[in-house]
A and B are shown apart, each in its own frame.
Chain A
Amino acid sequence: MISRETAWRMFAGELNNSSLERKGDEEKSPTYLITPLGTKTNRVLIAGVLLEKQNIGNDEEPLWRARIEDVSGSYFVNVGRYQPEAAAAIASLETPSFVAVVGKIRTYRPDESRILVSIRPERIVRIDSETRQRIVLETAKCTWKRLNGMKAALSMPEASADDLAATGGMTKDEAEGIIEAAEFYGMPDSSRYLKLIQSSLRMLLPEREIDLGLPEDVVDIPDEIDLEERSGISDVDKEDLVLDMLGELDKDGRGAPMDDLIRKATSEGITPTELEEMTNSLMDKGLVYEPVLGRLKRI
């Protein structure tokens, strides 16, 4: 039975801080991101303020980049032509406005040491402030639950996923995520996640002066990040770029010379190794072929 993946309620502060990816066990299962609090996720439901949006594609092939602000940081959002509903919806949204997004998680590694997390919306919809508050509240509750699950797991360092599932009020899947997260990230900085909850409670209960006594010097997630850099170029977009190059370089209809392609790609920031991977992938997809050795042609 193929069950639809759960849409996890998650603050940007938890999502953007994640760098552990895991392929699922079953055949055809997607890649999951494991957050520092142990959530194994590939889909999220988030709410916030749409602050910026920009179509870096064109009308026919839109590629929207957007930034959505929650209580403590920003979600980075990419919408392309493969998400027609979301692309149509985002085109008509105003900035600023309250929005909710259901989307898949995408990661991009600009280099070995960094991983940037963005959301590719399946749905993006304008909401009222009450719905926004409701989702923020839900997210705060879920974050609190995950933080406690993590704490419980760390207090039983030898426990297996089955043990945790039996005692900790969590499913085996959740327990596995927590164990992997604890191994990879170590002990989470709980004040960081408590601050996320504090920020949301301050928003939801403005009349109360909420102070959980957290050290204020904990470095928050920087909120000024270059949108361009942050969203990066995904593999699919890069493949499109390579296809365009092929068309351009194929001057005599006999295919583009490999040497020219490598030179052109390098100037666009695609390394020869990356290029090879991409051309292989394009060949597998049946989009390009090699008419003669050393030349590549679009079909």
Chain B
Amino acid sequence: MKMEELTPHIEELKRVIGESADEKQITDELNTYLNVYHVSIDAAKKGIMRKYGVDAPLFVPAASVTKKINEMTGDEKNVDLVARVVFVEEKQITARGVPKTIFSGILGDETATASFTVWDVGKMELVKGETYNFKNAYTKMWNDKLQINLGERSVAEPSETPIDAPERTISYSSEVTISELRDGIGNVTVTGKILSVEPKSITSKDETKTVFTGYIADNTGKVQFTAWNDFELKNDETVCAKNAYIKAWRGVPQLNFGDQCEISRVDAVFSNVHSGSSERSVADITKTGGGLDVMVTGAIVDVRMGSGLIKRCPNCNRSILGDECTAHGKVESVQDLRMKIVIDDGTGALTAVVNRECTEKLTGITLERAVAMARENVDQDSVCRLMEEKVLAMNVAATGNVLSDDYGPMMIVREIEKMAVDIKKEAEELMEKVEGSM
């Protein structure tokens, strides 16, 4: 390690050790630890501190540093900060099966704000609006956001000089349109029209609770929501939901109205509420991980194994091989048609699962005909081959929900049809563009 890199550590040791050793001694010691024994800088510092009688905490992995909130990276193991408590509340949580009280809220300094949690409420009392010197905090990233943690070792000392952090009662909530909703963007404010809402009973932690679920839409898209309290939402009313949060299920973002959510009725009029499906490119869907009721248009570039005439278990509807269901053993199988196709729009590719009704419509092959064909040819695969001939290279518009797993995005197709392209018109348009640029 170079001398200039060591300087801050030497300065720190000088400050901690004080009178017991001078700079030269400290430098020599540090050199010995690092260059003769090749221990890590943290271990070296701890060793030196203990040698000169400083009671270095045994389990503190690194000497603490002082940082501003916007300098924190989410992996600080021991950090000091001066911050104002912008907001704080007591919360009941269940940690490892044990109920526990914590404080949570927002800390702010001149540079930024971040949420924080006090895990040991006996250790400190925090008053909203006051500034404190926090010592031995640690940080983590949660949903791409910085989280400051105050644990057993942490200390909060009231600061004499209050700092000028923004006064807020609640965390930062950004205004977004529905198409912009992504997993991990934190609290959001969304304005939209309630397309549908209905009560639903759920059981959580042995408690039965009524929540309200439905769809909300604006000009850009629609999304499923869950209201965890009764906000008296009604069909067709337009609301502004402040401090809503996002949870994604397999890539599909869902909007949640929780305890901190404020719902207000607004007069905003949407010229074109997106009650229908929204057309998106595969690249865009891949980026967000999924979407509800989206439409893609592209070419069918592959028909996957497991397409054509298949057998299903009558009990669980799973597709089975032979007459053996993995869950129900030997069963009287039911025949069905389906396709697993790959749609490529030039920006990316997704797998699409097409049910019997849509398969019949797109290929013109009915289940009856498929069954007859397989019997005639004594070959289940003959159906799949005929389907391939019919649909490969076909341009289609497919609508459905898109989920994501390790193998990329997958659409459960609700509707699919051959897309007619006005070739002459589009060719003319291209010609005009090209000519215009010459």
A interface residues (Cβ-Cβ under 8 A, vs B): 1-9, 45, 47, 85, 100, 102, 122-123, 125-127, 130-131, 133-135, 137-138, 140-142, 144, 171, 194, 197-198, 201, 204-205, 208, 210, 212-213
Contacts and interface: CB of A to CB of B under 8 A. Distances in A.
A136 B426 CA distance: 12
A144 B392 contact: no
Given A100-B393, A123-B301, A144-B434, A4 B423 contact: no
Contacts of B301: 7, 45, 102, 123
24 contacts: A3-B349, A4-B342, A5-B349, A6-B282, A6-B347, A6-B349, A7-B299, A7-B344, A45-B299, A45-B344, A45-B393, A122-B302, A123-B388, A131-B394, A137-B426, A137-B427, A137-B430, A140-B430, A141-B430, A144-B433, A194-B434, A201-B427, A201-B430, A208-B431
Contacts of A212: 434-435, 438
B376 to A, nearest CB: 19
B37 interface: no
Contact of A204 (B342, B347, B424, B433): B424
B421 interface: yes
B302 A137 contact: no
Contacts of B394: 131
B346 A213 contact: no
Contacts of B428: 205
Nearest to B437: A148
B430 A125 contact: no
Contact of A197 (B407, B409, B434): B434
A6 B346 contact: yes
Given A2-B406, A201-B431, A205-B428, A123 B392 contact: yes
A213 B438 contact: yes
Given A3-B286, A134-B423, A125 B346 contact: no
A221 B39 CA distance: 65
Contacts of A1: 404-408
Contact of A135 (B393, B406, B426, B431): B393
Interface in B187-206: none
A137 B422 CA distance: 10
Contact of B430 (A8, A197, A213): A197
Contacts, number: 104
A168 B306 CA distance: 41
A135 B426 CA distance: 12
B407 A210 contact: no
B157 to A, nearest CB: 43
Nearest to A197: B434
A204 B349 contact: no
B322 interface: no
Contact of A47 (B351, B393, B427): B393
Interface residues of B, number: 38
Interface in B285-319: 286, 299, 301-302
A134 B396 CA distance: 12
B418 to A, nearest CB: 10
Contact of B408 (A2, A123, A134, A198): A2
B147 interface: no
B389 interface: yes
A205 B393 contact: no
Interface centre among B299, B395, B408, B421 (most CB of A within 10 A): B299
A210 B434 CA distance: 11
A123 B388 CA distance: 10
Contacts of B433: 144
A85 B404 CA distance: 27
Nearest to B282: A6
B346 A9 contact: yes
B196 to A, nearest CB: 32
A197 B430 CA distance: 9
B421 A137 contact: yes
Contacts of A197: 430, 434
B390 to A, nearest CB: 9
Nearest to B392: A125
Contact of A6 (B344, B407, B424): B344
Contacts of A7: 299, 301, 344, 346, 349
B258 interface: no
A21 B90 CA distance: 59
A157 to B, nearest CB: 21
B61 interface: no
A138 B349 CA distance: 16
B393 A125 contact: yes
Contact of B393 (A131, A133, A208): A131
Nearest to A208: B431
B72 to A, nearest CB: 24
A230 to B, nearest CB: 25
Contacts of B349: 3-7
A142 B346 contact: yes
